[in-house]
A and B are shown apart, each in its own frame.
Chain A
Amino acid sequence: DTAVSQTPKYLVTQMGNDKSIKCEQNLGHDTMYWYKQDSKKFLKIMFSYNNKELIINETVPNRFSPKSPDKAHLNLHINSLELGDSAVYFCASSQVQRSYNEQFFGPGTRLTVL
């Protein structure tokens, strides 16, 4: 049983299109995250939601809009895709009410913008 799942695993699309990536966690965690990993493997946080409330927004263009319908889901919608959006996007979750924040990651979605 996958703890943190993402769909799709691969996404290839044209510049200017709008696309969504979905994430679900079955760990009962209260906090979910989106990270972007570039071609040099640098992993940078984009957003964090705690109990459906946006907590962290790390200077991400407003073409990126996260949506959390419930605390088990955090979807990422991207408008007007650009070449520079090509990357691997990871969803993660954690239980922040515990003192220390061990995050569990999904398998990633490789986005390629042509």
Chain B
Amino acid sequence: GESVGLHLPTLSVQEGDNSIINCAYSNSASDYFIWYKQESGKGPQFIIDIRSNMDKRQGQRVTVLLNKTVKHLSLQIAATQPGDSAVYFCAEGVQGAQKLVFGQGTRLTINP
């Protein structure tokens, strides 16, 4: 079956440090990738996306890196803050298709 990410790891970082969340995807045809943030009791919220013709994309305090050779995606959060505590999901899709396939998520916790 399809899968994006195989684990639900937990990443614990010190406030102010940088966080790196990783994701593996399996569909070589995927050409669009999204990172979502889900806070406790809420729905997933869009953070940043990247298309397969790019290797890197930056947003405000976040950077997404895409390595198509090894089918790997990462989300880097600079200067992690308490408000960054959440479960982070990667999702993959194909241009023009309706379906996104979600990974199982990574829980990010911030130590004061």
A residues with a Cβ closer than 8 A to B are 4, 31, 33, 40-45, 48, 50, 55-56, 90, 92, 94, 96, 99-108
Q: Looking at the complex, which one of B43, B49, B105 makes contact with A100 (CB distance below 8 Å)?
A: B49
A sample of 23 cross-chain residue pairs with beta-carbon separation below 8 angstroms, ordered by A number, consists of A31-B98, A40-B8, A41-B8, A41-B87, A41-B105, A42-B105, A43-B89, A43-B105, A44-B102, A45-B99, A90-B43, A94-B98, A96-B98, A99-B96, A100-B32, A100-B49, A101-B93, A101-B98, A102-B34, A104-B46, A107-B41, A107-B43, A108-B42
Contact with A along B84-112 (1 / 0, CB 8 A): 00010100010111111110110100000
Number of interface residues of B (CB under 8 A): 27
In the complex, the chain A residue whose C-beta lies closest to that of B38 is A41
Q: Do the beta carbons of A90 and B100 come within 8 Å of each other?
A: no
**Within the complex, what minimum Cβ distance (angstroms) separates B57 from chain A?**
13
Give the shortest distance, in Å, between B30 (CB) and chain A (any CB). Answer: 11
- Residues in A with CB closer than 8 Å to B97 are 101
Contact B43 A101 (CB under 8 A): no
Q: Is the interface of B mostly helix, strand, loop or mixed?
A: strand
| Given A41-B87, A42-B104: A96 touches B96 (CB 8 Å cut-off) | yes
On chain B, the residues within 8 Å of A42 by CB distance are 8, 102, 104-105
Is there contact, CB below 8 Å, between A48 and B44?
Answer: no
Contact B99 A43 (CB under 8 A): no
Is A41 in contact with B104, judged by CB distance below 8 angstroms? yes
Is A40 touching B104 in the complex (CB atoms < 8 A)? Answer: yes
